[in-house]
Chains A and B, each alone.
Chain A
Amino acid sequence: MPEVRLFPGRLDPYVELATYERDLISQHGAGQYGATTSFVGTMRDFNEGDEVTKMFLEHYPGMTEKVLEQLCAQAMADYPILDCLVLHRVGDILPNDPIVLVAAWSAHRGAAFDAARFLIEKLKTDAPFWKKESLAAGQRWVDKNTKG
């Protein structure tokens, strides 16, 4: 069963990944997957040529989780994966803080890569999150995603 979770505080994607994988093995038994892919998105300290000192991540409580759950269900239906995981920060974020983790597990690498790519790309266009950056000159909303 895919899991989706929002983190108002710190997110350590590697600890979460290891914990989730242990649970996955106890749930499905050993030897059920041959590939794990994970993507971690981290805050930069620059955007559009400006230095960014911190960021606030707003979301739509309820809808954000719902959209992420729908994306996971879609990934499970469209790719031969055993499971997937999506974790995302909300609130105040500093440079180097991990913002997002997506992970997928499958028998072979192709499906795991494809499902993780699908999840992060669809998250970026569909999941209701909005970034507001703090710069030396004040604050501004990020109005579009950078090209992947």
Chain B
Amino acid sequence: MTIQVRFFASLRERMGRADAELEAGAANTVGEVWAAVAGGEAMPDNLLMAINQDYVQAHASVADGDEVAFFPPVTGG
């Protein structure tokens, strides 16, 4: 089983991909997921993150089968 990772908007373009996949166990928290998929890039201060489509902070725990998303500040409305 794995953790599905998704990037949106300007972050997706900067990462050069919309998705990534991580072996469950390779990361315990959302911050560790970032470190594993971001290719050495530091986590931006204003980065937003979600687990299974709910906002979380970087210390939130991830589990097998979770969908983790990273994205920049939102600009709708």
Contacts and interface: CB of A to CB of B under 8 A. Distances in A.
B70 to A, nearest CB: 11
Contacts of B71: 60, 128, 130
Interface residues of B, number: 18
Interface stretch (A8-16, A104-112, A118-126): A118-126
A134 to B, nearest CB: 15
A143 interface: yes
B39 interface: no
Interface string B47-59: 0101001110000
A120 B77 contact: yes
B75 A66 contact: no
Interface string B16-47: 00000000000000000000000000000000
A97 to B, nearest CB: 13
Interface range for A: 20 to 34
B9 interface: yes
Contacts of A132: 9
A124 B28 CA distance: 31
B75 A142 contact: yes
Interface of A: 41, 57-60, 62-63, 66, 88, 99-100, 120, 123-132, 141-145
